[in-house]
């Protein structure tokens, strides 16, 4: 008897259909899809987009990003604002500056703010509590997200009580050995994961995430990301391509690729159908139409910058970051047009997660 093997296109389509139905695949099945992505990309994007449409419609949520300090005690090998980068002008916004950014964002239509910074110990629990409660007091209809790195349980608890609703902390990679190749010895994978668990237990809506194409990442690592995310079950997943920064140890490493990033966005959408999934600035940086392509592959969130233009260029996590010269208002206008062109609308809302407590 002649042994007939199925063509990869057929195999891949069957796996995409299975993933849509069962919302999980085995690690080898994810790996097969990632390795054979060329055969199935268009179909995969279409299915993932239709799942996003069925939950979030033609609406794209926006979150206003306020990068309030680029001072960081950490030394991650990939990151442009790492402590070891002595070529960088460091800044710290005042409480008044931060409130002004939020006010401006509010009048531009934002109903959710992401306060992001390096791990800057100046921002103690007391200082942050004041900022958080002030923003919430002025804008009670807004959701407040923090993205300020690893802190202890007590600190997360205080900030939650002060009014923070959500927290973004990318795990960066689901593999401990890979994590150790991206970070110096004083940083620990186990602590990172513990932080995510602590945040969840405190009732934050949590965003995890990783870079695609970071140095030493394998396709097997990418398959493991999907298994990890399914277990963690976060409300949000931020992924973007790794982009080398000239003043880091990874300056000569290869940049992540658009197509694998899009494939990962789609696989995440199908694995966690309700998840909030940004088309990131990093994706828009390596491809002029990256964010549009991200949305068409299943993303449903954009995170434009609300930081004062005077500090934008100082928050360079990677080289050539886009939108660092544009006033928030013109950036929003630009985004609206781009998004309308592909048949979607930016909405004024808190952009709440639609998965309820558990993401089935
Ligand atoms: N390329 C792409 N993303 C990066 N980040 C940090 N440095 C880089 C880089 N060189 C991402 C990390 C971090 C987030 C704020 O930015 O994933 O969690
Ligand atoms: Fe920022 Fe176009 S999205 S200028």
Distance 292 CA to ligand 2 centre (A): 12
Q: Is the CB of 348 under 6 A from ligand 2?
A: no
pLDDT of residue 54: 98
Q: Does residue 19 register a pLDDT over 60?
A: yes
- Matching CATH number, 59-347, of 3.40.50.150, 3.20.20.70, 3.40.190.10, 3.40.50.1400: 3.20.20.70
Mean pLDDT of 24-38: 98
Given pLDDT bands bounded at 50, 70 and 90, which one contains residue 240? very high
Interatomic CA distance for residues 352 and 61, integer angstroms: 9
DSSP line for 289-343: THHHHHHHTT--EE--B-S-HHHHTT--SSTT-TTSSS-HHHHHHHHHHHHHHTT
Segment 174-231, tens digit of pLDDT: 999 999 999 999 999 999 999 999 999 999 999 999 999 999 999 999 999 999 999 9
Whose Cα sits closest to atom 13 in ligand 1? 170
Segment 226-235, tens digit of pLDDT: 999 999 999 9
pLDDT of residue 359: 42
Give the chain's mean pLDDT: 96
Whose Cα sits closest to atom 1 in ligand 2? 331
Given pLDDT bands bounded at 50, 70 and 90, which one contains residue 261? very high
Whose Cα sits closest to atom 2 in ligand 1? 242
Which ligand neighbours the alpha carbon of 118 most closely? 1
Segment 87-104, tens digit of pLDDT: 999 999 999 999 999 999
Mean pLDDT of 117-133: 98
For residue 210, report the phi and psi dihedrals to the nearest 5 degrees.
Answer: -155, 165
Q: Does residue 358 register a pLDDT over 60?
A: no
| C-alpha distances in Å from residue 230, one per residue of 265, 290, 299 | 14, 25, 17
Q: Is the CB of 334 under 6 A from ligand 2?
A: yes
Interatomic CA distance for residues 54 and 273, integer angstroms: 9
Segment 138-161, tens digit of pLDDT: 999 999 999 999 999 999 999 999
pLDDT of residue 17: 98
Per domain, the residue ranges of the chain are: 59-347
Whether residue 214 contacts residue 172, with contact meaning beta carbons closer than 8 Å, is answered with yes
pTM: 0.96
């Amino acid at each position: 008897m002649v042994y007939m093997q199925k063509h990869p296109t057929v195999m891949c389509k069957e796996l995409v259909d299975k993933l849509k139905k069962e919302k999980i695949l085995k690690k080898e099945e994810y790996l097969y899809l990632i390795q054979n992505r060329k055969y199935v990309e268009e179909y995969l994007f279409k299915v993932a987009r239709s799942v996003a449409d069925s939950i979030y419609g033609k609406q794209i949520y926006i979150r206003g990003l306020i990068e309030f300090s680029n001072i960081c005690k950490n030394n991650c090998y990939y990151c442009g604002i790492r402590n070891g980068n002595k070529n960088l002008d460091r800044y710290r916004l005042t409480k008044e500056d931060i409130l002004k950014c939020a006010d401006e964002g509010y009048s531009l239509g934002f109903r959710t703010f992401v306060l992001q910074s390096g791990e800057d110990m100046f921002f103690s629990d007391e200082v942050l509590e004041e900022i958080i409660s002030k923003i919430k007091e002025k804008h009670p209809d807004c959701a407040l997200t923090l993205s300020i790195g690893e802190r202890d349980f007590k600190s997360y608890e205080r900030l939650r009580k002060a009014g923070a609703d959500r927290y973004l902390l990318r795990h960066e990679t689901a593999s401990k050995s890979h994590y150790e190749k991206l970070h110096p010895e004083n940083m620990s994978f186990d602590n990172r994961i513990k932080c995510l668990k602590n945040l969840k237990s405190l009732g934050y809506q949590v965003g995890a995430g990783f870079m695609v194409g970071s140095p030493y990442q394998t396709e097997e690592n990418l398959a493991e990301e999907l298994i990890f995310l399914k277990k963690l079950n976060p409300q949000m997943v931020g992924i973007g391509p790794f982009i080398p920064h000239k003043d880091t140890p990874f300056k000569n490493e290869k940049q992540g690729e658009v197509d694998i990033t899009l494939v990962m966005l789609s696989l995440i959408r199908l694995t966690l159908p309700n998840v909030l999934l940004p088309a990131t600035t990093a994706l828009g940086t390596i491809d002029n139409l990256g964010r549009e392509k991200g949305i068409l592959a299943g993303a449903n969130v954009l995170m434009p910058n609300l930081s004062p233009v005077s500090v934008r260029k100082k928050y360079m996590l990677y080289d050539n970051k886009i939108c660092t010269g544009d006033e928030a208002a013109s950036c929003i206008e630009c985004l609206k047009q781009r998004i309308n062109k592909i048949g979607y609308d930016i909405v004024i809302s808190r952009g709440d997660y639609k998965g309820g407590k558990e993401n089935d």
